[in-house]
Structure 1
Amino acid sequence: MTGPDSTSGRALPTVLMLGGFGRSGSTLLERMLGDVPGVVAVGEVLHLWERGVRDDERCGCGEPFSRCPFWREVGQRALGGWPASPSEADAVVIDRYDVVRNRHLPGLVTGLLRRRRRAAARRLLDRHLALYRAVSAGSGAGLVVDSSKHPAFAYLLRRSELDLRCLVVARDPRGVAWSWQKTVGRPEVTSSREGVSADMPRYGVAVSAVRWSLYGALFHALSLLGVPVDVIRYEDLLARPREELQRVLSFAGFDVQPGSLSHLDATSVTMSTHHTVAGNPMRFRTGRVDLRPDTEWRERMPRLDRLVVELLTLPLRLWYGYRR
């Protein structure tokens, strides 16, 4: 496999990392942002090597990753082509699991990693910076939206020259915990590879509550290291889509032109096809989508489950304005 082409000399785009715990509305926000001219939404880039390159899962456009023209061009620009065998992709996946772990945050903050892990971190950074450049060049967009949501990945990226902004996407943790108990299929799965699940993982209410608090707190702590961090509530996005999207774009340093938000009105969004990897099945929806809050948990969530979530998320939940 040859090295990267001339895109390596291009200036790095701004990357807006969507943070927080899943099932909080990040896919909806990403889709809204991706239809703004000059913005490209690429899904959960952290999982690209595993879900896309190795397992050949479907891109948001509906094509298997290996047949998606957008990602084929990105791979050519960034790396001279994607690895020809799953074993080559596995090497990158191994680096990812060796480095991008929340338990390695002290080393990612200080840079004091073991030599082997430090080399793996450098390889990961080089590959992802090349990918962001190639995505920007291939799409013509100056703002790349990455919905990876993993705190350790953001801590890794902040050690580069990347213009990184982090946006915590928050939703009432009771609704999040309720959602993670549901069985949700993964329509992108095309592989019969052993260990590849056709369903998204499920979590109990206690695990969901702890992760909701932990992920949010870790992303907010990035501001202490000089990374711009802001927060958007899922409920506010649905209530005021234009105003909230404009605020997010302003936070990302993006100049919104007249007509850029024409795909939005007060109660719906019109979505086009995006080349996203991994994430919620909603990334495959196109056309008009009504903006309605999912409040099923209010009627169906057991009282004990609510109390568990409320106790485990208390400080951050109150800070975000989610009362009992």
Structure 2
Amino acid sequence: MTRGGRVKVLYIAGLGRSGSTILSNSLGQIDGFFSTGEMNFVWKHALLENRLCGCGRPLRECPVWRAVFERAFGGMDRVDARAVMASMHAGARTRHVPKMLTERGRRDLRKRVPLFLEHAERLYRAVTEATGERVIVDSSKEPAYGYAVGMIPSVDLYVLHLVRDPRAAAYSWIRQKEQPDSAEREFMHQKSARDSALLWDAWNVSAEALWRGAPQRYLRLRYEDFVSDPRGSFRKVLAFIREPDAGLPLIGRDEVRLGVTHTVSGNPNRFETGSVKLRRDDRWKDGMSRSDRTTVTALAAPLLLRYGYPLGG
């Protein structure tokens, strides 16, 4: 928590399958930092579905999240999760980004999401109070949701825009992955190469549009640069959020030691603990079909060049 009682939130924006889980979990190992995982899913995954916390317990049985909800609302059963989600969806979706770009639109959105803003404010504050940590790392990724969180007066928001080669992200979306935290769904949601590329375009353009006018609150980081130079990347991120003296979560040049986390949602590797090497995953170069690669490259070409990726892969 910052001076004046504001809650410092480092928000990771960008398309899923871009390495946000390992990045946020690594940052969560820093003394004073707490990685929540994807907070936009906390109402659904904790209160309605009781999925697994990163610690391995069902979220309703996790002592950390029980303490958070007790501080915020008097308990998990004191919250109408469906009403909060309805309020959130009324003004914090990708389709609302154009409204977020104008003062008139922002005023309209505030009228749509008061219940969400009030509940989210209480929840983020309770996280810092229950854990004793000063920085929340939220890897929800959705630009519109992150912008809505920034509308909370007590939130001191910093946006880390994480970008990964869209062909690598698409290859991950295409492949079937087990979903260990849900009894009803054995595998994670999949997307076609076309849908993945279109969403990659939309979310990256949205992130730039929403925060490009506030450079002191916005930092872009390529996943490939992060795993190639984790030490330099961590230092850049810590300087950006005004935490330059925080210790780096590294052992050696490219290895992090992950402790147990309390993430509410994310990629299955959020359950990993112990020493983890940070390395590029370029399996898409051999495993991705020519047609899928061509589709993604064509749809993402302008941003590929903007972010320094070769069209030829």
Deviation of 1:217 after TM superposition, in Å, equals 1.2
Deviation of 1:295 after TM superposition, in Å, equals 1.0
Select the residue among 14, 21, 25 that pairs with 1:31.
Answer: 25
Encode CA deviations 1:164-219: one digit per residue, 9 max, x unaligned: 111111111111111100111211114x5xxxx33211111111111112111111
Aligned length in residues: 308
| Counterpart residue number, 2:115 | 123
What letter matches 2:252 in structure 1? D
| Counterpart residue number, 1:172 | 165
Superposition RMSD on alpha carbons, in Å? 2.2
Closer/same/farther in 2, CA of residues 291 and 281 from structure 1, 3 Å limit: same
Pair 1:230 & 2:207 matched: no
Q: Would the aligned equivalents of 1:100 and 1:153 in 2 still touch at CA under 8 Å?
A: yes
Q: Would the aligned equivalents of 2:37 and 2:140 in 1 still touch at CA under 8 Å?
A: yes
Pair 1:252 & 2:241 matched: yes
Pair 1:321 & 2:308 matched: yes
Select the residue among 156, 162, 170 that pairs with 1:163.
Answer: 156
| Counterpart residue number, 2:142 | 150
Q: Would the aligned equivalents of 2:224 and 2:280 in 1 still touch at CA under 8 Å?
A: yes
Q: TM-score, normalised by structure 2?
A: 0.91
What letter matches 2:198 in structure 1? V
| Counterpart residue number, 2:53 | 59
Give runs of aligned pairs for residues 160-309 of structure 1, distance below 5 A.
Answer: 160-161=152-153, 162-190=155-183, 192=184, 197-226=185-214, 228-257=217-246, 260-261=247-248, 263-309=250-296
Closer/same/farther in 2, CA of residues 262 and 215 from structure 1, 3 Å limit: closer
| Counterpart residue number, 1:4 | none
Aligned counterparts of 1:96 and 1:178: Cα–Cα separation in 2: 30
| Counterpart residue number, 1:100 | 92
Select the residue among 8, 11, 15 that pairs with 1:14.
Answer: 8
Closer/same/farther in 2, CA of residues 248 and 111 from structure 1, 3 Å limit: same
What's the secondary structure of 1:61's corresponding residue?
coil
Q: Which moved more, 1:39-48 or 1:287-296?
A: 287-296
Encode CA deviations 1:30-63: one digit per residue, 9 max, x unaligned: 0110000011100000110001111100100011
Deviation of 1:154 after TM superposition, in Å, equals 1.7
Unmatched tracts of structure 1, length 5 or more: 1-6
Deviation of 1:304 after TM superposition, in Å, equals 2.1
What's the secondary structure of 1:21's corresponding residue?
coil
Q: Would the aligned equivalents of 2:231 and 2:250 in 1 still touch at CA under 8 Å?
A: no
Deviation of 1:118 after TM superposition, in Å, equals 4.4
What letter matches 1:167 in structure 2? L
Deviation of 1:266 after TM superposition, in Å, equals 1.4
- Identity among equivalent positions (%) equals 36
